[in-house]
Amino acid sequence: MIVKPYELNKIKSDLKFFLFFGKNEGLKNQHIKQLLEKNNNSNVVKYDEKEILENKDSFFESILSNSLFDNEKNIIINRSTDKIYEIIIDLMERNINDITIIINASVLEKKSKLRKLFEKEKNLACIATYPDTDEILSNLAQDFFKKIKISISQQNINLIVNKCGGDRLNLKNELEKIKIYLTEKKSISTEEISKLINLSENHTFYELIDNCLAKNTNKTLNILNENNFTNEDCIIILRTFLLRAKKILGLSLEYDKNKDINKTINSAKPPIFWKEKDIVKTQLNKWKPEKIRELIYLINDVEVQIKKNYSNSILLVTDFILNQGYTETNN
């Protein structure tokens, strides 16, 4: 049956199959979070459709096993398409009263088998998410800047919103990038906004940091050589590097406790995006907690050096990044 997003909290508790689809990833994530909160349940396991299709028997064995969870289970299947249709039919025919299946799909046309199934059956919930209007995104951006007490013009908010393609997840990413850049500043100019949001065209500085932390030296060198980073970029790179390092430190401390890298990654909060899981595993295997603490100190030190010698920002950051590729960190 078709369910409007505002009806989610009114849905009967015995409903166990949900399909969320649409391009608006941010809104979908928000609705899925809302459903999980309604279930008042922290037992969540995420799969990618590809994982399930490549090993169906293992999937069924895992989710139907009592040992996997203490209580009820929430299974989220990301990047779903019609290829998962037969699996869903199979699950519907089994006794899974203690399992909630949440299917996260992108665009599904009206002729989609999956969409037709969920729209037609009364014991299934189908929730569509459509692009946010510029007005909605503008209001979200205004609330964000008001909360962090930053002065910004409506013109600059419009500039940010126009880069987001109607998706509040894109908006969130842009706003977080700006927040990293601002630190102690209380306002931001149109020129600064333009430089910051244009960095999102290829996300190379995120890729740069991840490969550096994974000690993929050749890839790191290629990214440095292929991009003309500016002095302004260097501050963002360092502050994003700092956030990444702190995240890896938290995961590394947890990994030290449980000695299970998959459990560490799957239980991370906020969740690690499926595309990033492999490189995060590599990073955890490369960095011990004490070495990450040293790295965090070095990042702060380089930023201090940049503030003293701004014209040499690119040289300072490049040297710092390259040095990490040749430093022993797992002893």
pLDDT in tens, 219-231: 888 888 877 777 7
More confident of the two residues 273 and 100: 100
Is residue 88 within 8 Å of 2, Cβ to Cβ? no
Kindly indicate the confidence band of residue 240, based on its pLDDT and cuts at 50, 70 and 90: confident
- Looking at the fold, whether 239 and 293 belong to one and the same domain comes out as yes
Instruction: Decide if 331 is inside a domain.
Output: no
Mean pLDDT of 65-89: 80
Per-residue pLDDT, 111: 92
Give me the CATH number covering residue 161: 1.10.8.60
Mean pLDDT, residues 17-32 taken together = 87
Residues 51 and 39 in one domain: yes
**In the chain, pLDDT over 70 holds for what percent of residues?**
91
Q: Are residues 212 and 310 in the same domain?
A: yes
**Confidence category of residue 202, pLDDT binned at 50, 70, 90:** very low
CB atoms within 10 A of CB 34: 13
Question: Rounded mean pLDDT of 203-225?
Answer: 84
* Cα–Cα distance, 109 to 115 (Å, whole number): 8
Whether 306 is in a domain gets the answer yes
Tell me what pLDDT residue 117 has. 94
Residue 54 pLDDT exceeds 70: yes
Question: Are residues 320 and 228 part of one domain?
Answer: yes
Within a domain: 315? yes
The CB density around residue 240, as the number of other CB atoms within 10 Å, is 18
Spell out the alpha helix ranges (H) of the chain.
25-39, 49-54, 56-63, 85-93, 113-120, 134-147, 154-161, 168-182, 190-198, 204-213, 217-226, 231-258, 261-266, 277-286, 289-308, 313-325
Residue 229 has what pLDDT? 77
Over residues 73-81, the mean pLDDT reads 89
Please report how many Cα atoms fall inside a 13 Å half-sphere around the Cα of residue 224, on the Cβ side: 22
Answer yes or no: do 62 and 157 share one domain. no
- Is the pLDDT at 63 greater than 60? The verdict is yes
Domains held by the chain: number: 3
Most confident of 138-142, 233-237, 271-275: 138-142
Mean pLDDT of the chain: 84
Q: Which of 185, 200, 215 is the last residue of a domain?
A: 200
Mutual angle of helices 204-213 and 231-258, in 10-degree steps: 40
Last residue of a domain, one of 81, 111, 128: 128
Coil, strand or helix: which one is 229? Answer: coil
Write out the H or E segment, with its range, that includes residue 87.
helix 85-93
Query: pLDDT at residue 89 above 50?
Result: yes
Q: Would you state the pLDDT for residue 72? A: 64
For residue range 129-158, list pLDDT tens digits in order: 888 888 889 999 999 998 888 888 888 898
Average pLDDT estimate for 3-24: 80
Residue 175 lies in a domain: yes
**Domain region containing 90:** 5-128
Domain end residue (candidates: 100, 128, 156): 128
Query: Is 80 exceeded by the pLDDT of residue 95?
Result: no
Per the CB < 8 A criterion, the answer to whether 289 and 331 are in contact is no
Rounded to an integer, the average pLDDT of 205-216 is 88
- Look at residue 320 and tell me if it is in a domain: yes
320 and 211, same structural domain?
A: yes
pTM of structure: 0.57
pLDDT score recorded for residue 200: 45
Digit-coded pLDDT (tens) for 279-316: 999 999 999 999 999 999 999 999 889 888 888 888 99
Same domain membership, residue 112 and residue 17 = yes
Question: 10 and 123 in one domain?
Answer: yes
Q: Which residues contact 329 (CB under 8 A, 6 or more apart)?
A: 215, 286, 287, 288, 291, 292, 295
Is the same domain home to 81 and 146?
Answer: no
Please, which pLDDT band fits residue 60 given cuts at 50, 70 and 90? Answer: confident
Does any domain span residue 330? no
pLDDT of amino acid 66? 57
Largest alpha-carbon pair distance within the chain? 67
